[in-house]
Structure 1
């Protein structure tokens, strides 16, 4: 099973000297990038899970409704929000969509599982940092879903042969043919492969002059769209099963 997920987060990088990019611009970039992803998913009739950063949920309600109306899952990405902020966002989005928000993803700041369970979450999908060196370290990690404090814990996927994780940077930097082979090899050994990408990776950095490392701008923007399109074409050609996170976990 392929679990395709997207983190909807604003780019944090500062603008290059001589350029100005305000908070409104950053939000518009996130919206436009997400809409590009939605168009590609529509073409291939594939459903995914979108982890929306908690502080953005009140600002992106129209986008969130559009994502949900197309049959995709809405979940949360906790960047640095406290319990009250998460609980309030969950209440508001559930009222907006008339659906339960089942999942949450965390990276640097992690709310306790007990508190997440009390708020009504059913699964947690935590991720690690992805810099230029991290993706190429040899990793050993449990790749099976476990249960803790009444929550399903969904780990990051790792290729059993290359030992590369399926994080945002690996997708962006690897040749697509190699990545496709990695997916097939993983599914021969594991029950699922969890793929996640960030909305900001689809930014045109020639148009928006953010001060980001060179390796992070490689194959971004339209090239990321093309890579996503190639991956989804491959998934359909190989007749690989794809699921939203909440459906697979339960």
Structure 2
């Protein structure tokens, strides 16, 4: 099973040459990038899980409604929000889309599992930092979904052969043929492959001059759209099964 997921969050980098990119413009970039992702998913009739950064959720209600109405899963990405903030946003979004938000993803700032369970989340999908050296640091593999404190803990996927993780950076930098082979070989060994991408990777960095490392701008923007399109085309051609995370776990 392929679990395709997207983190919807603003790019945090500053603009180059002392220029300014306002919060309003950053939000618009995120909306446009997400709409591009939705368009590609719709073409291939594939459903995914969207992890919305909590502090942005209230500003993206129309986008969240569009994601949900197309049959995709709404989940949360916790950048640095506290428990009360998460509870308030969760209630508001659930009332707005009339669906329960079951999943939450965390990276640097992680709340205790018992606190997340108290908010009636069902699963946690934590991720690690991804930089140019990151793929060479991951040697241990845990591909089983475990239960802790009443929550399903979904690990990141790692190729058993190349030892490369299925994070945003690896997708962006690897040739698509190699990536497809990696997915295919992993599915022979593991029950699922969890893939995650960030909405900001679909930014046109020639148009929006953010100060980011050169390797992060490679194959971004339209090239990321083309890579996602190529992956989904291959998935359908090979008749590989895909699922929203909440459906697969429950």
Q: Which residue of 1 aligns with 2:109?
A: 109
TM-score (norm 1): 0.99
Q: Which residue of 1 aligns with 2:201?
A: 201
Could you tell me how far 1:135 is from its partner in structure 2? 1.8
Q: Which residue of 1 aligns with 2:177?
A: 177
Q: Which residue of 2 aligns with 1:39?
A: 39
Query: Matches of 2:4 and 2:193 in 1, distance apart?
Result: 8
Could you tell me how far 1:242 is from its partner in structure 2? 0.2
Q: Aligned with 2:50: secondary structure?
A: strand
Query: Matches of 2:89 and 2:121 in 1, distance apart?
Result: 13
| Equivalent residue pairs, number | 250
Q: Which residue of 2 aligns with 1:192?
A: 192
Is contact 1:157–1:194 with CA below 8 Å preserved after alignment? yes
Q: Which residue of 2 aligns with 1:168?
A: 168
Is contact 1:33–1:199 with CA below 8 Å preserved after alignment? yes
Could you tell me how far 1:18 is from its partner in structure 2? 4.4
Could you tell me how far 1:133 is from its partner in structure 2? 0.3
Runs of 4+ displaced beyond 6 Å:
none
Is contact 2:3–2:193 with CA below 8 Å preserved after alignment? yes
Query: Matches of 1:200 and 1:138 in 2, distance apart?
Result: 24
2:10 is the alignment partner of 1:10: yes
2:227 is the alignment partner of 1:230: no
Could you tell me how far 1:138 is from its partner in structure 2? 4.2
Q: Which residue of 1 aligns with 2:23?
A: 23
2:114 is the alignment partner of 1:125: no
Query: Matches of 1:23 and 1:135 in 2, distance apart?
Result: 32
Query: Matches of 2:112 and 2:96 in 1, distance apart?
Result: 26
Query: Matches of 1:11 and 1:115 in 2, distance apart?
Result: 28
Unmatched segments (≥5 aa) in structure 2: none
Unmatched segments (≥5 aa) in structure 1: none
Is contact 1:145–1:155 with CA below 8 Å preserved after alignment? yes
Q: Aligned with 2:185: secondary structure?
A: helix
Query: Matches of 2:145 and 2:28 in 1, distance apart?
Result: 35
Is contact 2:138–2:165 with CA below 8 Å preserved after alignment? no
Q: Which residue of 2 aligns with 1:147?
A: 147
